[in-house]
Structures are given as C-alpha cells and as structure tokens.
Amino acid sequence: MIDRRRFLSAAGFAAAATVGRAALSALPEPALRSSAETAPPSPPANGRPFHPVVTLNGWSAPWRTRDGVKEFHLVAEPVERELAPNMIARLWGYNGQSPGPTIEVVEGDRVRIFVTNRLPEHTSIHWHGQRVPNGMDGVGGLTQPHIPPGKTFAYEFVARRPGTFMYHPHADEMVQMAMGMMGFWVTHPRAAHPLIDQVERDFCVLLNAYDIEPGGAVPKVNTMLDFNLWTFNSRVFPGIDSLNVRQGDRVRLRIGNLTMTNHPIHIHGHEFVVSGTDGGPTPRAARWPEVTTDVAVGQMRQLEFVADEPGDWAVHCHKSHHTMNAMGHAVPTMIGVDHRGLIGPLQRLVPDYMLMGERGMADMSEMEMPLPDNTLPMMSGRGPFGAIEMGGMFTVLKVRRDQRPGDYSDPGWYAHPEGTIAHEWDGPLAAPTRSARAPALNGPAQEYAVRKPHGRSR
C-alpha cells in the first residue's frame, strides 16, 4: 500500500545549482510503502504513454509533472523489509522499502529527482548506465558534494536513451549497498523502436545479497563473498512472488545484479534471448536462444521469450548455494557415514545431537528444527507434491491458458493433464546389462598396478 505523507519543511534542504528556484518552491510528496506485496502495474497518469513494468515484491514511484518536468522524490532512510514471512531485516533503502521504488520514464523526458537523506551518514545517488551531464552522475566527492544527513538534493537530466538501468549510492558504497540501497530505472521507448519489441508482461528483478546472522536483523556490512541470503528484490524464496502470465504472452524479465558475485539465471521450459543489456537493446543478429544466462556484477540483462508452455516452471540462479537461506558452511559432509550405534552414546553426551546428512540433506527440509526467532529455514517452500527444498534466488513462472490479459494474480498450482506427471514405474524391471569387463559390484576388491611417470610404480 502506498501512503503519502509530507514531512519536509521548506527549510532544511539544499539543491544542485542547476535547479531553478521555482522547482524548489515545493517538493513533491514522497510516496512511502510499508508492504512487500507486488504492486499491480501503474499506467502513466500523464505524459507520454508506456506499457508499465511490474517489480516483483515492489512498486513504481508516482511522479508529478511541473513545467513539463517529471518530478520524483526519493527518501534515503532506514527501513524494515520482510525478506519472507517470519523474517524482517533492518535495512537501509528508499521510501520505506529495499529496493526503492522503480522509476519509469519515457525516452526524451526531462526528469527531476529530489533525494532527501534521512540516514545517519551522507549519501548520493548514481544513475547506473544512463547518459547524464557529468555533475548529475552522483559520485560523491568526484562529481558533487555528498548529501549530508537531513538535506535534500535535486538531480535533473533528460532520459536520453531507452533501456533498463539501476540507481544506487556512490557514497560509502560497500556499507550502503550491503544495507540494501538500490532501485530499478526503466526508460521506455518514445515510439516504435526497431530493437525493442512490445511485450505483454514486463518484470523487474534486482539481485542483492545480505549476510544476516541467524536470529539477527541487521546485515553484516563487511562481508565480501560469504553472504547467506541471496535475494530477488530483497526477498528470498518462498517469499518471492511468482511470475504469473497468460499462455502465449511475450514476457520480458529485466534483471540487474548489485551483489558481489555473478548469477547464472535459469528459466525452465522455455528458451529466451537476451534482448538488451545496460548498454542498450541487443542487435537482433547478436541474440541467440539460451536457457541460462550469466548476469555479472553491475550488469543488467533483459531476458525475453514467448511463454507458450503451460505449467509451473522454476526460475532461479543456477548456483546451488544461492537457492538456499542461511546455512552453516562448516557442517561436515556425512553422506555414506553409518551412524548406527553412535546416536545413543552421542545423545547421552549431547542431548540435542541430531543424526543428519548421512543420506543427503533433503531430510532437513522436512525436519521441524527449532530455529532462532527471525530466521528462515535453509531450504523450504511447499509445492503441490511436497517440500520444494529451495530458498534464496528461486521463484516460479506460472503460465496459464486462462490467465486474463493484465491479470497478475497468482493462479495457484498447475493442474497437470492426466498422464503427464513423472510417476513411479510399477511394470517389470529388466536386469541391467553390465559390461563383461567391469569389476563385479560388491565383488572382491580388485588390485591394479599403477604405473607412474619416470618408471616408478607401486
């Protein structure tokens, strides 16, 4: 839900020199959001028309038009973000949430963005990927003075080229991005563009990562690689909404990576092309079908496909550690270890000792393990057939024949046509054919002579 409140007095803000006095006579009220629900697409109230995007578990910022300029108001501030039901993180973000609201404009629009700093330290905003006058590029210390706490700065430029962009601080970046400060920016084409196709569904996902101790709520800002919560728009599975589309829709999935590592994004059941990067639309001759594409640090990728296969299709990062929530990496691998006979003596010494991992870790997603408050299980989510055993960067593309155009609501689980689900085989089993030269399974141990280099052998 978007609520508006006016909290700025006329005093207490500063502005870049290029902004006229008239613009400062009043600031647009900032739109604030308290929930992590996916907002429906918001068609433009004024200005040039465009087909709005949907930010998963997010929303787009409203604007006002003043003297032909689109004015937005971003408030950098501490926020509480629900990462998934049962876990609230205390982050820094914009306008009540992390990520901040998606900014949608049209190529050629003159845009003025007021940025109010309600953080305990200075900040700035960089408009990642865009052509702007140098003094609007938002690099604190290099192209502008930092925005001190309590002050408001104004950025003003023309959105010169259409595409998928991001915004984020360029001030104490390691801390401010580890705390969740980032947002999406989409510049829609002003007219039919030879390299930009019309799509029926246009989704935005920012990849970010946090390191939050089990039981904690504030990210550890000095972590470089070993994050434990890998997020789409500061949400983890099962807290990430599904991408709900109508069969036959052309779908665009815009992905930006502001984590510290790359993410190979994988879509099941369909082939997509990368139709654009942060550098702009991809020439058609340079597009090829893929089912996984790597999104490197600092990159944007636009994935496009026709959703022509009905079903519930997984969409996820293919790094298996990125589809898990907080876990202990120091746990020994116990696969194949026979614990029988040990559990009794161990439990006499350590009453809470649990036998786990000797058959893999799938048991853990079924286990009702006590967890510290405000902590998510490592693998969770339930589907129609049981535990999905995922966390982190995972969601579901739901393709339905009867999803109405423009309806983004969750249609529920897919009803499979009869006879199209993998099932247990109950027919006769043929004896496996084995090579005559293969050592017999469970037979006597074989001895081999191994010849090593330099004639040495053993």
Tokens 């074989």, located at residue:
446
As measured in angstroms, the least distance from the Cβ of 211 to Cu ion is 15
Backbone φ and ψ of 445, nearest 5°: -60, 140
DSSP string across 132-186: --GGGS--BTTTB--B-TT-EEEEEEE--S-EEEEEE--SSHHHHHHTT--EEEE
Nearest distance, CB of residue 317 and Cu ion, angstroms: 3
User: For the CA atoms of the chain, what is the radius of gyration?
Assistant: 26
Decide whether 137 or 389 has the Cβ nearer to Cu ion.
Answer: 389
Minimum CB distance to Cu ion smaller for 81 or for 322? 322
Contacting range for Cu ion; rule: CB under 5 A; set: 64-72, 320-328, 368-376, 398-406: 320-328
Residue keyed to tokens 């799938």? 362
Least distance (Å) between residue 301 CB and Cu ion? 13
Residue 257 CB, nearest approach to Cu ion (Å): 9
Element (H, E) at 315: strand 311-317
CA 85, CA 166: separation in Å to the nearest integer? 27
CB of residue 327 to Cu ion, shortest distance in Å: 14
Q: Judged by CB, which is closer to Cu ion: 75, or 84?
A: 84
In angstroms, rounded to a whole number, what is the distance separating the alpha carbons of residues 419 and 409?
A: 28
Window 253 to 292, contacts with Cu ion (CB under 5 A): 263
Stretch that binds Cu ion, among 13-21, 177-185, 322-330, 417-425 (CB under 5 A): 322-330
For residues 294 and 358, which CB has a smaller minimum distance to Cu ion in the complex? 294
Question: Does 317 engage in binding with Cu ion (CB under 5 A)?
Answer: yes
Query: Is the CB of 235 or the CB of 263 nearer to Cu ion?
Result: 263
- The minimum distance between CB 288 and Cu ion, in angstroms, equals 22
Question: Whole-angstrom distance between the N-terminal and C-terminal Cα of the chain?
Answer: 73
Total residues binding Cu ion (CB under 5 A): 4
Contact 291, 318 (CB under 8 A): no
Q: By CB under 5 A, which span of 73-81, 309-317, 328-336, 433-441 interacts with Cu ion?
A: 309-317
Among 33, 246, 254, 322, which residue sits at the site for Cu ion (rule: CB under 5 A)? 322
Of 187 and 395, which has the nearer Cβ to Cu ion? 395
CB of 315 to Cu ion, least distance (A): 12
Q: Shortest gap between Cβ of 319 and Cu ion (angstroms)?
A: 4
Tokens of 332: 């020994």
Residue of 319, 346, 356, 358 that binds Cu ion (CB under 5 A) = 319
Note whether 316 binds Cu ion by CB under 5 A.
Answer: no
> Given the complex with Cu ion, which of 317 and 378 has the nearer CB atom?
317
Question: In angstroms, what CA-CA distances link 282 with 58, 92, 164, 285?
Answer: 27, 34, 12, 8
The DSSP 8-state label assigned to residue 345 in this structure reads H
> By C-beta, is 33 or 263 nearer to Cu ion?
263
Tell the burial category of 45 from Cβ atoms under 10 Å away from its Cβ (0-12, 13-18, 19+): exposed
**Rounded to 5°, angle at Cα 261 from 259 and 266:** 95
The Cα–Cα gap between 309 and 246 comes to 10
Q: Which residues bind Cu ion (CB under 5 A)?
A: 263, 317, 319, 322
